[in-house]
Amino acid sequence: MNKIITGRQKKIYFHIIDMFFFILAHGAALELCFTTGVPQALIETFWFVSLAIAVVMLLVFQFYGLYNSLWQFASVEELISTVVASITGVVLLFGLSILFDVGYPHSWYFIFALLVMVFNGGLRIGYRIIRRSLTLNLTSKDEMKRVLVVGAGEAGAMVIREMNRNPQLGKLPVVLVDDDPEKLGMKIYGVPIKGNRYEIKRLVKEEYIEELIIAIPAASQKDVRDVLELCKDTHTRLRIVPALHQLIDGKVSMKKLRDVDVVDLLGREPVSLSHEHIRLYLRDKTVLVTGGGGSIGSELCRQVAAFEPKELIIFDIYENSAYDIQNELLKEFPELNLCVQIGSVRDKHCLKALFDKHPVDVVFHAAAHKHVPLMEDNPREAILNNVMGTYNLAQTAHERGTERFLMISTDKAVNPTNVMGASKRIAEMIVQTFNAQSKTEFVAVRFGNVLGSNGSVIPLFRKQIAAGGPVTVTDSNIIRYFMTIKEAVQLVLETGTIAKGGEVFVLDMGEPVKILKLAEDLIKLSGYEPYEEIDIIFTGLRPGEKLYEELLLADEGIEKTQNDKIFIGKPIVKSREELDADLELLKSVVNVDAAHIREALKRVVPTYQPYEG
């Protein structure tokens, strides 16, 4: 049975080993000083003086923390500490020799210091080299994954150093690529730089690479996308060092590497936020997030919590998701005053009771039915939840004097061809109409698809790939705007700093993405070849689905804001009388049938052209 050596025992062993080398250095320095023979007086006191020297040097080494670091990770820092400790120790010994009148020649101190640096410093580095060699022998290079690192900067160097130090990770850095031509042919920790990004495919084949690590955290999102486009066809595992703004402490390590996701291929430059302005309207405020357990709602809760609200209220009909985000927030923000209310925006009495108990300052309205085909089959639910629910919430916020009301809308509200989009367009009308008669600032924020949200296409594709395919795409030409949930919510918070009331804010969604290409990229990132290993089939457009989405109505126009990713659509406001008449019409048909609901929607939303499939 192997005996486990504790950290305390190791320190004792290291002290004993260092003591041996201090005594050895003492004797060797004497021999080198007195080439004709060491004086008898010094020989007689050798062991006593050796013990005194060893005690002094051990105390100095302890002071410099040389017994607090692990020898298997000894590096330049430990060598520098050893040199400084050796010099400090010799200075102390010289002072003691004067005090106690010890007759050692001055040359002895110089030689002793050099020998301590060589013996004790070399001991630490030697221990590291021997230990690493033994580990490498136990971990055969044939069993290790051959790795190509993209980026020969600090991040790449740190990744390589960590792989070299930890053979148990099972990764062997083989080659580097970097776009700086001056680095070509150079080495980092023994790993050669053999080309630029355009050489990746060739090097993967020539060097039998099994894993690619993208280590360019300071690069722009465009550069990262370009590199990933070159890497995704190599059929190797792709891992990436997060961008600098995503690294909490700014330090790179193997633990922080993550698998490349399709989000990285679509990512944009980080959003520039007016943190202080956002803090002004959220700090010490009671904030309500409806649909707080959903994809967008939960991210709203995460980001709002960071701005120190007086109270954060999660309002959701689905208790499981509300419970999940509650636990997450309590762990992440232990000081947060958090309240979870289970209920529906369709319930006026529930909303009024909530606002009476918790005087709400800011509302983020994310509760809605968003699934297009399901709402085509269940138009009644879309009206009751998306339209009447928004009205109930807006009415309650208006009556209770809430400061701000921000509603999450969708690009499907523009020239809608489906019930869900039409219902969200009416919700926008409700918000704008209330703003015209209320002290509360009512605004809506309109954007496209968010990556990774519940019901979005990417989780569906992942499930289909995991099942071996096929991946289903409705049409080869269908395109959509995409944005990460985090970015969308950041911009929603930012609109609160710009809002004056009544606006429909439109977020810059970037370039539209072809869903077919998205499916192909996701298959490649999963290590498969599209159409060969994982097939893609086309199922036809679903009821209410368009080939492309729009972000603005023709007569809305657009107005820039100080944030280049946020625009304002020209408001089209209905009078309160018109809105009330529209809502009465919808109420009169909501319990009849789907055909009557669609006809009513066409009257309320003139741009609504229902799917005729």
Catalytic residue list: 412
* Both structure tokens of 347: 């319930």
**Rounded to the nearest 5°, which phi and psi values hold at 455?**
85, 0
Residue linked to tokens 């060969």: 532
DSSP string across 424-476: HHHHHHHHHHHHHH-SSEEEEEEE-EEET-TT-HHHHHHHHHHTT-PEEES-T
Interatomic CA distance for residues 219 and 155, integer angstroms: 11
Interatomic CA distance for residues 502 and 515, integer angstroms: 34
The amino acid occupying position 450 is V
Interatomic CA distance for residues 489 and 300, integer angstroms: 6
Asked if residue 204 lies in contact with residue 231, where contact means CB atoms within 8 angstroms, the answer is no
The amino acid occupying position 427 is A
Distances (CA, A) of 498 to 68, 504, 567: 53, 12, 10
Query: Which of 118, 17, 14, 23 shows the shortest CA–CA distance to 68?
Result: 14
Residue linked to tokens 């048909």: 589
Q: Is 68 exposed, middle or buried (0-12, 13-18, 19+ CB in 10 A)?
A: exposed
Distances (CA, A) of 331 to 284, 324, 326: 20, 11, 9
Q: 504-507 and 211-214 as β-strands: parallel, antiparallel, unpaired?
A: unpaired
Distances (CA, A) of 457 to 75, 263, 464, 471: 48, 12, 11, 10
Residue linked to tokens 């960590």: 162
Interatomic CA distance for residues 460 and 472, integer angstroms: 9
Q: Which residues pair with 409 in a beta bridge?
A: 446
What count of other Cβ atoms lies within 10 Å of the Cβ of residue 532? 8
